[in-house]
Structure 1
Amino acid sequence: MTDLTGAIVLGEHQYGKAENRVVRIYRDTPRHEIRDVSVSTCLRGDFSAAHLAGDQSSVLPTDTQKQTAYSYAKEKGLDSIEEYGLTLARHFVDDVAPVVGARIEIEEYAWQRAVVDGAEHDHTWVRKGEEVRTAAITVDADGTWVVGGLKDLVILKSTGSEFFGFLKDEYTILEETHDRVMATSLVVQWRFVTTDVDWNSVYAGIKEQIVATFATVHSLALQQTLYEIGKAILERYPVLAEVRLSAPNKHHFAHDLARFGVENDNEVFHAADRPYGLIQATVQRSDAPDPGPAWSAYAGWLS
């Protein structure tokens, strides 16, 4: 066994306040508006004295970061999570001397208006069960990076999907199919090359494109579908450099009804949640600029 004798030193480090739940109600008119987000702030710089000697003189408390996130929801507004995140990140980098970089990660939870007597109610909502919108903003001395996204977009189509011609060995028992249910819970993230963006409009358009491509592409593999989704997004939005996609294959197996003398022509399925195939891909432009720290996450940094 080889013994290591090199000096012990502090490596990369960062700190912040994770998962601040901020709800902003706009009450300027009788018809209120709601934004519901989880905000994680992360500061980067030389905070070695805190680690090595317990010296907090360069440390902006995580509680201060939390209070800033809440106050900025009123002071600066929360119209889009991308713009809100940019404002927070720029504040920490520009106004807090020891901070040389900031990472803001945000999830947004959607609400829809309650319908009362056939009309949308002005100040009551019901939680929507669709996807969670996400954003990750990084600001440092070298630039600004914005990654938009969504997660938990559960989507299924009952036909228009095949899986055949795959590699087989002595452990392969999976049967080929030319007509299967394809279902997944999509995570999609996209990297912008500019901050001059109508954030809410682009988000709505990307979600629309994801759903339309999933529905209309006759899929020979989930991998193919992911590529076509990424390609369609990039074709539609020149402000994007790359798209990253992750899709667990939510398997639906035709249940054996023959033992009961009942025909099952792809009509009754067992939905299996584990184990599952996990398909991931990046679709990018050949001239995409270097991502820098765009994908250097705070949440899950050590995973």
Structure 2
Amino acid sequence: MTDPQHTRQNPATQHPTPEFPSQDQPHPGWTGPMDPPPDHGEDSYRGTGRLTDRKAVITGGDSGIGRAVALAFAREGADVLFTHLQEEENEARETARLVEDAGRKAVAVSCDIREEENCRALIERAVAEFGRIDVLVNNAAYQMSQPDGIEAIPTEQFDRVMRTNLYGMFWLTKFALPHIPEGGSVVNSTSVQAYKPSPHLLDYAMTKGAIVTFTQGLAQMLAERGIRVNAVAPGPVWTPLIPATMPDTAEFGKQSPLGRPAQPAELAPAYVYLASQEASFITGEILNATGGTPLP
């Protein structure tokens, strides 16, 4: 049987390339209707014990990058608590199944991280389930394309983007830190948008730039406590958020030098590496996974 995780392939043609069929979904989007279907590593990711018996919290773990990270962490030996929105319960059940099929504990929690008390309760739940938190992955995010410019961004949207992408990350990290032991880590999801902002994603790009700064500053703050803080900066990734927030998905990802978007499964190894002891001298870093788009 071919092992696609380790078999040499042309990265430009390894996964589907645009043009994609026209598709549109209401937010937050679902995996099932997507064409082509996203690859989370279900048939390819092979763990090697790099996170054996670790306890991980992942926000936005129901689909997309979050699901791929939850699957990879579980196959590397970690138990996983992950968040989802109430309307994503069916998606969350599939992530939980993948974690449990890997022989690890899965805890799916419906949680709106825009509220401070929800974040506090989430961390309390994780500690009750696991006793500690070895890895916190701040991955949940909200975006909405506004091609008509800043004048078209309503305050309600701006507030949701800020509270989901920044407030939630801040609160969860703050509440989790007393429960993260030496050798633990925080991994944040930033974006190519932090460095090369698309005008139609102005508010989203703002938050991704802030996440870079938060990651680098917190890493210095926590170094003496033996806790590492890093981030992954993806380029275009084929997740339900795309048909749910973009007006046209036909050529999504075509602008990357590899000519296509990433599949979630291609991002998961970056999170595994940063969470693992193999990255013991890596902190305050941004791991860029952009398909060849050069970043600072």
* TM-score normalised per structure 2: 0.27
Q: Write 1 or 2 for the structure with the bigger share of strand.
A: 1
Query: Which protein has the larger Cα radius of gyration, Structure 1 or Structure 2?
Result: 1
Q: Write 1 or 2 for the structure with the bigger share of helix.
A: 2
* TM-score normalised per structure 1: 0.27
